[in-house]
Chain A
Amino acid sequence: MDNTLRLDLHNIAANYGARRVLQQITLTLHQCETLVVSGANGSGKSTLLRLLSGLQQPASGTIHYHYQGTCYTPRQAMHLLGWVAPDLALYRELTGRENLRFFAAVRGLQCSDTQLDELLAQVGLAGRGDDRVACYSSGMTHRLRYAYALLHHPPVLLLDEPTVTLDEYGVAVVARVVEMQRTFGITIIATNDARELRFGDYVLTLDTA
């Protein structure tokens, strides 16, 4: 089976009302490559990631994922995508493990509690799986977002402000996740943090003009 992975963006533009935030974005990413998208607030970094995840439609242009010989639009590719962002909210009234069990079930995955605990440990939440998300700190909630995104081993990982609210250990977890992703998939990181530019094979700098 053809396991190669490729992401093609062609002439992407995005608008908010009359204001154009992105235009003429054309790029191709291949398996094992990492792209860092940087730029000032409002330059369209998060918008680009939302376009790539299918949560928003581009004003013009096309986005295609090519995986195992099949071409997918972002909305058809949700099984290929893992998305972490500060505005990704999980169910506060459920525990961390219940959240992961639910999202595994709706994705059609069969995950045992042991596998979920291993995933929680991987993101630094060992022993906290039975606590409700409402009791988590902002950093712990962000770690749970990583567990949500990694649940189905997605070949494409979209990270918006990947280390926001994380402590040093959390930052190290993110570095490990990005390194692991580099061995088999594509990672796209949107960040303002200059320290995170080191993750990228390529850097795309957006400006607000």
Chain B
Amino acid sequence: MPFPLPMLFSAAWSVFVKDLLSELRTRYALNAMLLFAASTAVAVSLGAQFLGTRRDDETFLLQSALLWIALLFAALNGLSRSFVQEEETRTALALRLAAPPIAVYLGKLLFNLVLLLMLDVVTSLLFIIFVRVQVDNIGLFITLLAAGSLCLTTATTILAAIIARASFKSALFAVVAFPLLMPPLIIVIQGTALALAGAPWADGLMHLRTLLSYAVATFVASLLLFGFVWEA
């Protein structure tokens, strides 16, 4: 039976709230992601102290690449949990029978996005404090961080749904995600380096446009595919 749009959004919000409540009570993904981000920031600060003292184009690129590597691996650690846990605890059956597939996808996408944005804030602060990264165009930096996270979330949410019922989930997730995430990662690393160097907004606009196009394309493809993936 087709769901009216307001009811679909309401169901998606319920999935998001349920996932958030479950995560706050179990902290399956949150602890793993935060621990990964913190250990990366501390390791980089201890192993490459020179990064905080130099201010040239190569250093900005290096700082940006390290920040996004930390975010990527923390995200790969945590973002697959929302679907994998539904399959492992076998609650996916109850959800399949009760919720419209699109509501499940939208709820889980929103949950992953919120989780990743929280991780962005924590990781960026850790890099600023420990690695002494200086951000000269804060507005562009925050916008690129949000756009890059949107790309990571749209791509990894549908991948998590696909691999949730497979064996060797975590290994498969990283292998499948790698080629899909490389294009936006390269763009966002270059864009973030510009923001760290204090480049004007106009210089970062091309990067933002590309990232948003990628996010829209993966989001639309996910909406079209999710029903088949979820009910397979």
Contact = CB atoms under 8 A, between A and B. Distances in A.
24 contacts: A54-B97, A55-B93, A55-B97, A75-B231, A77-B1, A78-B1, A81-B97, A87-B90, A87-B93, A88-B90, A88-B94, A89-B90, A90-B91, A91-B91, A92-B89, A102-B17, A105-B11, A105-B14, A106-B14, A106-B95, A106-B98, A106-B99, A108-B3, A108-B11
Interface in A48-90: 53-55, 72, 75-79, 81, 83, 87-90
Contacts of A108: 3, 7, 10-11
B91 A89 contact: yes
B98 A78 contact: yes
Contact of B15 (A54, A75, A106): A106
A94 interface: yes
Interface string A20-31: 000000000000
Contacts of A88: 90, 93-94
A79 B21 CA distance: 26
A89 B10 contact: no
A89 B93 contact: yes
Interface of A: 53-55, 72, 75-79, 81, 83, 87-94, 98, 102-103, 105-108, 148
B25 A93 contact: yes
Contacts of B103: 106
Contacts of A75: 231
B14 A102 contact: yes
Nearest to B15: A106
A149 B76 CA distance: 35
A105 B21 contact: no
A94 B21 contact: yes
Contacts of B11: 105-108
Contacts of A107: 11, 98-99
B26 interface: yes
B18 interface: yes
A18 B95 CA distance: 29
Query: Which of B26, B97, B100 has the largest count of A CB atoms less than 10 A from its CB?
Result: B97
B230 to A, nearest CB: 11
Given A91-B22, A94-B18, A94-B21, 20 more contacts: A54-B97, A55-B97, A75-B231, A78-B97, A83-B97, A87-B93, A88-B90, A88-B93, A89-B93, A94-B22, A102-B14, A103-B94, A103-B98, A106-B15, A106-B98, A107-B11, A107-B99, A108-B11, A148-B94, A148-B98
A103 B1 CA distance: 17
A12 to B, nearest CB: 18
Contacts of A89: 89-91, 93-94
A54 B227 CA distance: 13
A91 B18 contact: yes
Contacts, number: 67
B96 interface: yes
Contacts of B7: 108
Sorted from nearest, which 6 A-B pairs have the closest CB atoms? Answer: A105-B14, A106-B99, A89-B90, A108-B7, A106-B11, A93-B25
Nearest to B22: A93
Contacts of A148: 94, 98
Contacts of B15: 106
A172 B42 CA distance: 61
A163 B89 CA distance: 22
Contacts of A54: 97, 231
Nearest to A81: B97
A81 B93 CA distance: 13
A55 B98 contact: no
Query: Which of B11, B18, B90 has the largest count of A CB atoms less than 10 A from its CB?
Result: B18
Contacts of A102: 14, 17-18
A156 B98 CA distance: 14
